[in-house]
A and B are shown apart, each in its own frame.
Chain A
Amino acid sequence: MNTELYKEIIASRNLSLGAEASGEVVSKYSPQEIRETISALVSEDRQDLAHALAEAGLSLYPDSEDVLAMAGLMAMLREDWVESAAILNHLLEIQGERAPLNTHLMFIRALRCALEPAAALSAVMLAHEHYPNHPELEREFHALSEVLGLATAA
């Protein structure tokens, strides 16, 4: 493999390779900047580019709440429910006890749309522990119970 040609150019410009010695790749862009750029691309209806940037964000910051929330939303927009559920599940793990209701609701809907009603009902129960008697969770509970053929009190 002859790499001399471009190595010469890099050396002549005193450039170092972007990947650090540890194998980590450092970006000058923060998760917030990536999230805002994805949002701007979506508003310009450039979904393909926004999707690619969400993937880039996940590669750079796999545990960032900003990136996970936006990537989960992007997966929902393109109706990739399995991917969306996987991303939102990871987001819920990261957020733990302080996960907002909206993350729970998005996760429940992703599971429901992925045709996983039993898993969605489990997610409702989990959300209920943190947001007891919330009307949207109640609605999801009754709808999913009906799908699963479980009797619920009206």
Chain B
Amino acid sequence: MSSLAIRRAAISAYRRVQYEVEGLDEKRHILEMLLDGLAASLAGVKNATLVNDSSAQDLHVARASRIVVGLQKALDPEISPDLARYLSTVYRYFLHQLNRAKGSRAPRVADDLLEITNTLRKAFSSN
């Protein structure tokens, strides 16, 4: 799936959250914490690359991947099947991209994912 398609999926998820967040209320703070942590780890990937610290880069990529796996497990199709489907697509894209985030390619991947993460963060926190 293309980056543009993923962005469209993220925006669809964003719109869904506007309407369906009531059912997500119990979980929302957990999702917000996970997304905040994901943004921090992606920023860490970029910073590690800037200072040429490959082990820190690997650490942040691994940490981001584990957070995304947690976000996948937090999906609940019973609350909102459409939202779960959209977000599942987004998270799969994240894991695919993180798997490719090595060396000089890492900052570009991190930037791309950070933008999508911030879209999702705002979707959850603005309700």
Q: Which secondary structure dominates where chain A touches chain B? A: helix
Counted as pairs of residues, one from A and one from B, with CB atoms less than 8 Å apart, the total is: 118
Q: Which secondary structure dominates where chain B touches chain A? A: helix
Q: How many residues of B contact A (CB 8 A)?
A: 43
Contacts of A49 in B (CB 8 A): 30, 70, 73-74
Asked if residues B37 and A37 are in contact (CB atoms below 8 Å), the reply is no
Asked if residues B119 and A6 are in contact (CB atoms below 8 Å), the reply is yes
Contacts of A17 in B (CB 8 A): 115, 118, 122
Asked if residues A52 and B46 are in contact (CB atoms below 8 Å), the reply is no
Asked if residues A56 and B11 are in contact (CB atoms below 8 Å), the reply is no
Contacts of A53 in B (CB 8 A): 30, 33-34, 37, 70
In angstroms, Cα B114 to Cα A17, docked, is 9
Q: How large is the interface on A (under 10, 10 to 19, 20 to 34, 35 or more residues)?
A: 20 to 34
Name the residue on A nearest B39 (C-beta).
A25
Binding site for B on A (CB under 8 A): 1-3, 5-6, 9-10, 13, 15, 17-19, 23-25, 27-29, 33-34, 37, 41, 48-49, 51-53, 55-60
Chosen A-B contacts, 10 in total, with CB atoms closer than 8 Å, are: A10-B122, A19-B114, A27-B33, A27-B36, A37-B30, A52-B69, A55-B70, A56-B40, A56-B67, A59-B38
